[in-house]
Copies of this chain bind each other. A is one copy, B any other.
Amino acid sequence: MANAFVAPPPPLKDELDIVIPTIRNLDFLEMWRPFFEPYHLIIVQDGDPSKTIKVPSGFDYELYNRNDINKILGPRSSCISFKDSACRCFGYMVSKKKYIFTIDDDCFVANDPSGKAVNALQQHIKNLLCPSTPLFFNTLYDPFREGADFVRGYPFSLREGVPTAISHGLWLNIPDYDAPTQLVKPLERNTRYVDTVLTIPKGTLFPMCGMNLAFDRDLIGPAMYFGLMGDGQPIGRYDDMWAGWCCKVICDHLGLGIKTGLPYIYHSKASNPFVNLRKEYKGIFWQEDIIPFFQSLTLPKEATTVQKCYIELSKQVKEKLSKIDPYFDKLADAMVTWIEAWDELNPQGPSQANGKA
């Protein structure tokens, strides 16, 4: 039955890692302590490696700075961004767990409309453990949620759903706006708690935000590359977008699902819109070509693993996006380097997707 889904126990410590790009604010960890303390943290320091991040006692963590990344990956460390939170994807690569939850250090615990603290991690795990329904839209949203089901007219052959690879959570307070929107609406706050989770339909792209994101590393990990951003790159704030577009076309191809909606976190602080505009402005132009590229992209049948899909994608990026800017030529190479590094650190072989295309 569709909604025989029972809330799972929180996954065991050895099934999930929390990846944090950097921690500038110790209140962040204190606030999340009751939820995060049982898990292992992977902190990837995004800036100057000579600075020290102090982690309060009680947390189980490993910390990587740029020197560590260079040492572990050698020449392949070129694929990991420096001085940008995009470096977090190094944490996805060194983790050995099935699930990853990644969160920014300006994201605090949200309250639901009843005032109860939202256990974001638990909701992400619920989302990842129950199937997605990308092939047909269910008007009562996630049919696997308690008190919901597939509505009249939903084909029975599609009710098994497909495995969920990604759970995309949302943000109360400061919404995830681009620089132009931030500039135009400096006072806008998101106060609407929309009590739902839904599958992004097959064939539809979405803007994936890395602030509050979980995924099944076995199913989609090698596609969760946050690109080349920050120091020495012509663009920023498109790391999670890039990963989202790549993941979406690969999930669609491999028959995997992506959910969005709950859980909310409380996003405390808007980043500087002027700084953001400088980082984003090339992306604002480029995305007008990138989106049609991803919308029309097809992957060959032989691409049966995430790695194979990703290598094929890198070829198409080189072939079709390099004409926009030489940056994409470099990015396509970095995508290949990323997969080489992933496979080196994860020698058990490529992830086998078990979805239905």
Contacts and interface: CB of A to CB of B under 8 A. Distances in A.
A26 interface: no
Interface string A127-167: 00000000011111100000111111111111000000000
Interface residues on A, range: 35 or more
Interface of A: 1-3, 113, 136-141, 147-158, 168, 170, 175-178, 180-181, 184-185, 188-196, 200-209, 237-238, 240-241, 244, 260, 280, 284, 287-288, 291
A284 B280 CA distance: 49
Contact of A204 (B137, B147, B176): B137
A244 to B, nearest CB: 7
A151 B176 contact: yes
Given A139-B206, A140-B190, A151-B209, 11 more contacts: A136-B204, A137-B260, A138-B206, A139-B209, A147-B192, A149-B175, A152-B176, A152-B207, A192-B196, A193-B195, A201-B203
A288 B156 contact: yes
Contacts of A291: 136, 155, 158
10 contacts: A136-B204, A136-B206, A137-B205, A139-B207, A140-B170, A148-B190, A151-B178, A151-B207, A201-B201, A202-B203
Contacts of A260: 137, 139
A152 B241 contact: yes
Contact of A237 (B152, B188, B190): B152
A252 to B, nearest CB: 11
B139 A185 contact: no
